[in-house]
Amino acid sequence: MRATRAPSVHNTQPWRFGLSGHTLDIHADWSRQLQVLDPRGRQLLLSCGCALMNARTALAGAGFAAKVERFPDAAKPDLVARVVADATLGVDDDLLAQLDQAIEVRQTNRRQFSDETVPDEVVDRLLDAATMEGAEITIVTSPDHRLAVARLSQQADQIENADPAYRAELRAWTSDDPCRTDGVPTFAIPHVDGRAEDDLPVRDFDTRGGGELPALTRSSLNQCLVLIGAMDNDQHAWLRSGEALERVLLEIARQGYTASPLTQVIEVTRTNVLLRHELGLAMHPHVLLRVGRAPATPGTRRRRLVDVITEAD
């Protein structure tokens, strides 16, 4: 099922699905929550929102309209969305249907990006993608704002890496085990040896020194930097922001580009507050992306369908 191809924080895949006829229920799996990095569950629900967007996109690509209820049952707080497929109505979002093939090629890419500028017309498509999902989106363009994002990202990265519990959680979700079907594999992370030359730090997943990608990542403040967020900062907003995030990521892939998240600045409360102040943001930022071109990396693994899907008789 294509919903399982969605990105998730540390590739935790924090979801379960229930299939019954034309109805798909999406449940948050709180047993997979990152207790140190994500104590409120914001990134877990962003991840579930990405899975919901993939489900909507796959249905649109197959010619189905999707009726979506978000948090449909107050008695079941883990049930974050219910999607009902309806072939009689026809697809009401042709642009969404065009993103279906991008599900298989979208990937998080932590390599060095080329110096190529992302064209304005591509950036405009990203703005449209987020806006169509009701999200707030900002392209960081002014030199002062770029410097502020870089400086605060470095501070946040230092704060997180100084926490032994944070480093232990990273180790738990990073693996070179070829049989493991979740977490971040070493073939998808840069080797960290002090040669990254990053303005905005790529998260150091190389907890055991086994990262297989080149050490030089050169994440630059001059690259295309995209902030996605919402005016609210609650569970509904996090889920909807996840849908917007995945729609933007699929559009990036459809246009032949790639992206990687640089979210440390958002995860640390102090730098989050300073980011909103220094950029004059009314919204609550939920994801910072860098967008560009880079050589492909192998796709990360996914859990078996039998482990995440329950189908009613």
| 220-265 pLDDT, tens digit each | 999 999 999 999 999 999 999 999 999 999 999 999 999 999 999 9
Q: Look at residue 231 in the predicted model and tell me its pLDDT.
A: 98
The rounded mean pLDDT for the chain is 95
pTM of the complete model beyond 0.95: yes
Provide the token pair at 128: 């449209």
With cut-offs at 50, 70 and 90, classify the pLDDT of residue 206: very high
Q: Which of 191, 283, 215, 296 is nearest to 253 (CA)?
A: 296
The maximal CA–CA distance of the chain, rounded, in angstroms, is: 58
Per-residue pLDDT at 313 exceeds 70:
no
Proportion of the chain above pLDDT 90, given as a percent: 91
Instruction: Find tokens 């990262």 and name the residue.
Output: 211
Q: Look at residue 28 in the predicted model and tell me its pLDDT.
A: 98
Q: Look at residue 264 in the predicted model and tell me its pLDDT.
A: 98
Amino acid at 37: L
Point out which residues pair with 20 in neighbouring strands: 23
| 70-93 pLDDT, tens digit each | 999 999 999 999 999 987 777 767
Q: Which of 191, 210, 62, 212 is nearest to 202 (CA)?
A: 191
With cut-offs at 50, 70 and 90, classify the pLDDT of residue 271: very high
Kind plus residue range of the DSSP H or E element containing 253: helix 235-254
Distance in angstroms (rounded) separating the CA atoms of residues 69 and 44: 18
Mean predicted confidence (pLDDT) in 36-59: 97
Q: Which of 183, 162, 161 is nearest to 172 (CA)?
A: 183
Mean predicted confidence (pLDDT) in 136-157: 98
86-95, 123-132, 172-181, 237-246: least confident range = 86-95
Provide the token pair at 210: 């086994």
Q: Which domains does the chain have, with CATH numbers?
A: 2-104 (3.40.109), 120-292 (3.40.109.10)
Q: Which of 156, 159, 183 is nearest to 271 (CA)?
A: 156
Q: Look at residue 81 in the predicted model and tell me its pLDDT.
A: 98
Per-residue pLDDT at 1 exceeds 90:
no
